[in-house]
Amino acid sequence: MSLTIDELFRTYQKNIVRFAGRLIGNHEHGEEIAQNTWLSICAIQTFDKVAYPKTYLFKAARNAAIDFGLRQQRERSRRVDWDSLTEADVADNTIAIYEQRRTLVVLAVSLNELPAACRQAFVMNKFEGYSHAEIAQRLGISISMVEKHIVRALLHCRNLLRVHENE
């Protein structure tokens, strides 16, 4: 028999809070995203027929994290000085800005979802400017392992972006 929501909740609530906090890059928000995750799961009438409830649960948490990030981004945009924008700016850019924001949120969540070693190698390369050789030396792994980590990170981001592109 598959797990009921009640059992899932008892087993994974703490994991979901941690996972969600990690995805959004801020553990303060883990509880809230976890709560949204459970709400979304509860709304599914046929949840007892889901084949892999745990997998489903963590995917729901990822979606909730992306939603949360988008909402965060939207809230920030309210503080934009709208008066200084011209109508033309708004017309041309609104959709593009929205798409760009969603891309950023999905990318952040994707990177945070990666295993720590993989993310670390990628961050050192992309954000801190270390060469593959330097990363290999600092992390005590081979250069080809560094390459694998970085390719994996990019692939994961690309795959998640594709999933969320058309929503």
Partner 1 sequence: MAGSEKSKGEDNLSEEGLHWIVRLHSGRATPRDHRDYHEWRARSAAHEDAAVEAQALWDSMSRLHVDSSTGLVQLETAKRGYSRRNAMGAIVGIGFASAAGATFFRTEAFKRLKADYTSPTGHVREVALSDGTRVFMNARSALDVRFDPSFRRIFLLEGQAYFEVAPDKARPFVAMVDDISVVALGTAFDVTRALPGSAAEISVTQHSVRITPPGSARSQDIHAGQIVAVDGSGRIGQVRAQDPSIMASWRNGVYIAEETRLADVVAALSPWYPGMIICRDPSLEALTVNAVLDLKDPVSSLDALAEGLPIRVRHFSNYLAIISNA
Residues in contact with partner 1 by CB under 8 A are: 4-6, 9-10, 13, 22, 24-29, 31-32, 34-35, 38, 42, 48, 69, 71-73, 75-76, 78-79, 100, 103-105, 107-108, 111-112, 116, 119-120, 123, 125-128, 130-134, 147, 150-151, 154-155, 157-158, 161
Torsion angle, alpha carbons of 105, 106, 112, 117, to 10 = -130
Output the smallest distance, CB 33 to partner 1, in A: 10
Alpha-carbon distance of 23 to 108, in angstroms, equals 7
Output the smallest distance, CB 78 to partner 1, in A: 6
Output the smallest distance, CB 52 to partner 1, in A: 19
Question: Is the CB of 87 or the CB of 99 nearer to partner 1?
Answer: 99
Question: Is the CB of 88 or the CB of 153 nearer to partner 1?
Answer: 153
Q: What are phi and psi of 79, to 5 degrees?
A: -90, 0
Q: What are the Cα distances from residue 167, in Å, to 106, 116, 164?
A: 12, 28, 6
Output the smallest distance, CB 112 to partner 1, in A: 5
117: Cβ contacts below 8 Å, ≥ 6 apart: 139, 141, 149
Biggest alpha carbon–alpha carbon distance for the chain: 60
Q: What angle do CA 54, 57, 58 make, to 5 degrees?
A: 95
Question: Is the CB of 59 or the CB of 74 nearer to partner 1?
Answer: 74
Question: Is the CB of 75 or the CB of 87 nearer to partner 1?
Answer: 75
Question: Is the CB of 15 or the CB of 87 nearer to partner 1?
Answer: 15
Nearest to 59 by CA among 166, 160, 162: 160
Output the smallest distance, CB 42 to partner 1, in A: 5
